[in-house]
């Protein structure tokens, strides 16, 4: 395996997808390797079908462990269909979310337990962790405010419950950062978009100076 696998993580509204749209071309200009962008859940035809199941029954009763297993199943298929072939072809794979999302959302947010969710994901990813993870740090309040910018002021009971959920997600992410200092680099996502992009690109160049060395 000779490519580079980089995942992008962080709470809802952290700006991952927005930043990735600019990080990918910035990296592409600095390397002779091809840069491929993918996302989870989904990223390949079967994984996108599993994504639809997860999203279809959104708002109704899906068992928390069923949800965790479906995310892990979608991840397995994405890995086999897209990530591993891309790395085998010596390319650079940027994934909008990966295994840390399951640990933070299902393990922490849904309170299944980080150990339990890590175990089923270890089975799914079979040792293929990212070479580097960029964690976009933002408080749940700021992240949610970006998403719900129309109706922040009146927090009803459900929104409050959802804020507690997002606080657990954030806390679990911070624990993952602490526990994986070699793999995960935390950047401040609560700043202007161009600064977020710069911090992410700088962190990636710093980690792989021989790959992003000026380019084509
Ligand atoms: N640095 C930033 N400052 C202010 N607003 C931002 C910033 N980055 C993104 N946004 C805005 O915040 C909202 C959420 O951004 P985005 O969809 O990129 O987040 P995300 O991390 O991909 O969220 P999700 O996990 O829900 O996919 C968008 O409306 C986007 O325009
Ligand atoms: Mg996104």
Give the pLDDT score at 160.
61
In a domain, 165, yes or no: yes
Give the pLDDT score at 158.
54
User: Has residue 24 got a pLDDT over 60?
Assistant: yes
| Atom number in ligand 1 closest to CA 195 | 1
- CA–centroid distance, 175 to ligand 2, in Å, is 21
In a domain, 147, yes or no: yes
H or E, element range at 7: strand 4-9
User: Has residue 209 got a pLDDT over 80?
Assistant: yes
In a domain, 212, yes or no: no
Whichever domain contains 56, its CATH number is 3.40.50.300
Give the pLDDT score at 61.
78
What number of other Cβ atoms are within 10 A of residue 94's Cβ?
23
User: What phi, psi does 111 have (nearest 5°)?
Assistant: 65, 35
Quote the number of domains for the chain: 1
In a domain, 91, yes or no: yes
- CA–centroid distance, 16 to ligand 2, in Å, is 6
Angle (deg, nearest 10), helices 114-125 and 64-78? 30
What range does the domain containing 20 cover?
A: 4-207
Q: Taken in order 19, 76, 82, 86, is the CA torsion positive or negative?
A: positive
Q: What is the pLDDT of residues 32-72, one digit of tens each?
A: 999 999 999 888 999 999 988 888 865 567 899 999 999 99
Instruction: Mention every residue, 6+ apart, whose C-beta is less than 8 A from residue 212.
Output: 27, 30, 31, 204, 205
Question: 20-29, 55-64, 197-206: which range is least confident on average?
Answer: 55-64
DSSP string, 126-170: TT---SEEEEEE--HHHHHHHHTTTS-S---HHHHHHHHHHHHHH
Give the pLDDT score at 157.
54
What helix, strand, coil percent values describe the chain, rounded to 5? 55, 10, 30
Q: What is the pLDDT of residues 137-172, one digit of tens each?
A: 999 999 988 887 755 555 555 556 688 999 999 999
Ligand with the closest atom to the CA of 191: 1
In a domain, 216, yes or no: no
H or E, element range at 176: helix 157-179
Give the pLDDT score at 214.
79
Question: Measured between alpha carbons, how far is 181 from 58 in angstroms, rounded to an integer?
Answer: 34
User: Has residue 98 got a pLDDT over 90?
Assistant: yes
In a domain, 130, yes or no: yes
Give the pLDDT score at 151.
54
In a domain, 180, yes or no: yes
Residue among 55, 54, 57, 51 nearest 38 (CA): 51
In a domain, 126, yes or no: yes
Decide: helix, strand or coil at residue 99.
Answer: helix
Which residue of 8, 9, 12, 15 sits with most ligand 1 atoms within 8 Å of its CB, as the best mutation to test the pocket?
Answer: 15
Angle, vertex CA 132, rays to CA 112 and CA 197, nearest 5: 105
Of all residues in the chain, the percent with pLDDT exceeding 70 is 91
Of all residues in the chain, the percent with pLDDT exceeding 90 is 81
User: Has residue 130 got a pLDDT over 80?
Assistant: yes
| Atom number in ligand 1 closest to CA 192 | 1
**Average pLDDT of the chain?**
92
Confidence band (pLDDT; 50, 70, 90) for 4? very high
Give the pLDDT score at 187.
98
What letter does residue 183 receive in the DSSP assignment?
T
């Amino acid at each position: 395996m000779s490519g580079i696998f980089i995942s992008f993580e962080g709470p809802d509204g952290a700006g991952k997808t927005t930043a990735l749209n600019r990080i990918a071309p910035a990296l592409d200009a600095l390397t002779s390797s091809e840069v491929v962008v993918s996302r989870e859940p989904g990223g390949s035809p079967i994984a996108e079908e599993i994504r639809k199941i997860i999203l279809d029954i959104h708002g109704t009763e899906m068992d928390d462990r069923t949800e965790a297993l479906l995310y892990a199943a979608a991840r397995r298929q994405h890995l086999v269909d897209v990530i591993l072939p891309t790395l085998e072809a010596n390319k650079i794979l940027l994934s909008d979310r990966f295994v840390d999302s399951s640990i933070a959302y299902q393990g922490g947010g849904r309170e299944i337990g980080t150990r339990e969710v890590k175990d089923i994901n270890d089975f799914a990813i079979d040792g293929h962790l990212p070479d580097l993870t960029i964690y976009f740090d933002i408080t749940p309040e700021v992240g949610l405010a970006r998403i719900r910018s129309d109706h922040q002021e009146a927090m009803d009971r459900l929104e409050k419950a959802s804020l507690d959920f997002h606080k657990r997600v954030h806390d679990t992410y911070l624990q993952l950062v602490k526990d994986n200092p070699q793999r995960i680099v935390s950047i401040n996502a609560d700043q202007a978009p161009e600064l977020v992009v710069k911090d992410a690109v700088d962190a990636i160049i710093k980690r792989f100076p021989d790959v992003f060395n000026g380019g084509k």
